[in-house]
């Protein structure tokens, strides 16, 4: 099947998840993504190259499981940009690329002599997308960040918590994933602009800004009504104020750290829930109408928790779903990956072939296209795995010349 993005080539300096996740999307739709890494530091700027999880006892820069996950489908070459010959090769690669993408700290590419002005000289219609925590413009643009810092500064950590407790935050880098999604969007928006006008451009992506947009109504409540989210009784992450719903939460179940989410969207859902629970408290006056039920959620949650606690999560989920009430067990990794048939049936965990790890399952894409669907046959590149392929096929070097470049420490 032809790829939707077959005609695009990406000169890719991204790493970690916030950058690599973006070009993984492009690669899975057929874009030719060529990762460029530093041979001197063995590509360790991307710390995921050598960190767990591992498939077996082998260690090293080609064995990082997360790296393989985020870089499946890409090509990998090495360039020692301290050397002029490497800069010449990079220049030739940019000449034949549509996009230069990176998520370094501000100024890194510039110091190597490849700032946006220079990129434009090399390829006038180049799309250049930079991605870092605070962006390349503004008072904090030299600050250091990673996913949890972006989440903290942008308010996403604060809002994920329970009243009278410290922030729970996110148990993973939600904004590295989501920053990558915005980076992919930015690249494609700029390519669409180029497709219609012939013009390239620079996109300055600041993950903190992207994160801040995800608070929408709370920010308008602040600018219009002056109501802060830092106030008594807040945040209460599992409740729903927009729209108001009650009950609405995550409740304990029998088992090892098992929980079930229950949400009543309206009066009919509440009556259906009450029908399943069928205990005296369900007919308490204070729970009969929405407004008083919403106001009495602490008491409501205590009753409902007492009902769910001795029951198994999947049984509760099934009983409530049968009654038409939105309910879902809080799924553990094994449950959603291997036991819930829906993800496997969707093809969500494709097996890629990695040159050293062999067959490994990775995150797929949560979409299917009728004409140009994604595919991820190949694992993430080992360090410099495609030096010869890329330099000979794309840039016209001979195999002997590539060997000489390796010998000279250029690649």
Partner 1 sequence: MTALTGVRVVELSQVPIAWAGKLLADMGADVILVEPPGGDPSRGYPPFVDDEPGDDRSLYWWHYHTSKRSVVMDLEDEAGREQFRSLIATADVLIEAEPRHRLATLSLDYDDLAPIKPNLIHVAVTPYGREDAQSDLPYTDLTVMAASGPPWSCGYDDHSLPPVRGALQGYHTASHFAVMSTLTALLHRGVSGVGQFIDVSMTAASNVTTEAASYTWLVAGRTVQRQTGRHASTSPSSETQQRCADGRYANTGVPPRNPAEFAALLAWLKELGLNTQLPEAVFLELGATWQGPFDLAKIGTDDEITAIFGAGREALKLIASTVSAQDFFLGCQGAGLAVGVVNAPEEAFEDAHIRARGFHTPVHHEDLGRTITYPGAPYALQGSPWAISRRAPKLGEHNAEVLGELDQGCELDQS
The set of catalytic residues is 176
Size of the site for partner 1 (CB under 8 A): 154
CB 54 within 8 A of CB 63: yes
Sites for partner 1 among residues 93-122 (CB under 8 A): none
Tokens of 14: 């991204």
Radius of gyration of the chain (CA): 25
160 is a contact residue toward partner 1 (CB under 8 A):
yes
Alpha-carbon distances, residue 105 vs 144, 322, 365, 383, 410 (angstroms): 7, 52, 28, 22, 24
Cis peptide before 243 (omega within 30 of 0): yes
Q: Write each residue from 260 to 299 as x if it is in contact with partner 1 (CB under 8 A), else as -, in one continuous string.
A: xxxx-x---x------------------------------
Indicate which single residue of 79, 153, 246, 300 sits in contact with partner 1 (rule: CB under 8 A). 153
238 is a contact residue toward partner 1 (CB under 8 A): yes
Q: How far is the CB of 400 from partner 1 (least distance, A)?
A: 37
Residue among 372, 354, 367, 352 at smallest CA distance from 7: 372
CB nearer partner 1, residue 170 or residue 281: 170
Q: Is the peptide bond before 313 cis (omega within 30 degrees of 0)?
A: no
Nearer to partner 1, 262 or 405 (CB): 262
Angle between the 20-28 and 174-197 helix axes, to the nearest 10 degrees?
Answer: 50
Among 216, 255, 275, 377, binds partner 1 (CB under 8 A): 216
In sequence order, the 6+-apart residues with CB closer than 8 A to the CB of 156 are 150, 169, 170, 174, 175, 211, 214, 215
Among 1, 96, 241, 302, binds partner 1 (CB under 8 A): 241
Among 45, 112, 202, 290, binds partner 1 (CB under 8 A): 202
Out of 203, 273, 405, 410, point to the residue binding partner 1 (CB under 8 A): 203
Residues 325-344, interacting with partner 1 (CB under 8 A): 325-334, 336-338, 340, 342-343
Polymer length in residues for the chain: 411
Binding residue (CB under 8 A) for partner 1 from 113, 222, 309, 358:
222
The mark string for 346-375 relative to partner 1 (x by CB under 8 A, - otherwise) is x-xx----------xxxxxxxxxxxxx---
Q: Which two three-digit tokens encode residue 99?
A: 């996009």
Site for partner 1 in 16-35 (CB under 8 A): 17, 25, 29
């Amino acid at each position: 099947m032809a790829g939707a993005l077959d005609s695009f080539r990406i000169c890719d300096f991204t790493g970690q998840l916030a950058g690599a996740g973006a070009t993984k999307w492009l690669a899975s739709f057929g874009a030719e993504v060529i990762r460029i890494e530093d041979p001197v530091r063995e590509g360790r700027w991307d710390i995921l190259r050598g960190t767990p999880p591992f498939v077996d006892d082998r260690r090293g820069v080609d064995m990082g499981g997360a790296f393989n996950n985020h870089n499946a489908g890409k090509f990998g070459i090495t360039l020692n940009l301290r050397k002029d010959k490497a800069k010449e090769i990079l220049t030739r690669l940019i000449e034949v690329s549509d996009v230069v993408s990176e998520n370094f700290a501000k100024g890194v590419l510039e110091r190597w002599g490849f700032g946006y002005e220079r990129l434009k000289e090399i390829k006038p219609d180049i799309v250049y997308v930079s991605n870092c925590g605070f962006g390349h413009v503004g008072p904090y643009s030299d600050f250091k960040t990673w996913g949890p810092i972006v989440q903290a500064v942008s308010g996403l950590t604060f809002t994920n918590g329970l009243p009278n407790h410290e922030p729970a935050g996110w148990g993973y880098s939600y904004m590295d994933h989501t920053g990558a999604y915005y980076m992919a969007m930015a690249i494609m928006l700029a390519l669409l602009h180029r497709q219609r006008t012939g013009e390239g451009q620079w996109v300055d992506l600041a993950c903190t800004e992207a994160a801040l947009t995800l608070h929408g109504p709370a920010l308008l409540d602040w600018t219009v009504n002056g109501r802060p989210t830092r106030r008594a009784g807040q945040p209460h992450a599992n409740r729903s104020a927009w729209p108001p719903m009650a009950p609405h939460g995550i409740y304990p179940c029998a088992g090892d750290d098992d929980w079930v989410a229950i949400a009543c969207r309206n009066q009919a859902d509440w009556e259906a829930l009450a029908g399943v629970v069928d205990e005296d408290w369900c007919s308490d006056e204070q729970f009969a109408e929405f407004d008083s039920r919403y106001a009495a959620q602490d008491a409501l949650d205590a009753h409902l928790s007492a009902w769910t606690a001795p029951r198994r999560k999947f049984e509760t989920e099934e009983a409530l779903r049968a009654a038409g009430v939105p309910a879902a067990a809080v799924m553990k990794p094994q449950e959603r990956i291997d036991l819930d048939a829906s993800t496997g049936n969707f093809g969500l965990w494709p097996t890629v072939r990695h040159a050293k790890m062999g067959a490994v399952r990775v995150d797929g894409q949560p979409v299917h296209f009728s004409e140009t669907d994604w595919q991820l046959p190949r694992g993430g590149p080992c360090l410099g795995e495609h030096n010869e392929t890329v330099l000979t096929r794309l840039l016209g070097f001979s195999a002997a010349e590539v060997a000489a470049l390796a010998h000279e420490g250029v690649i």
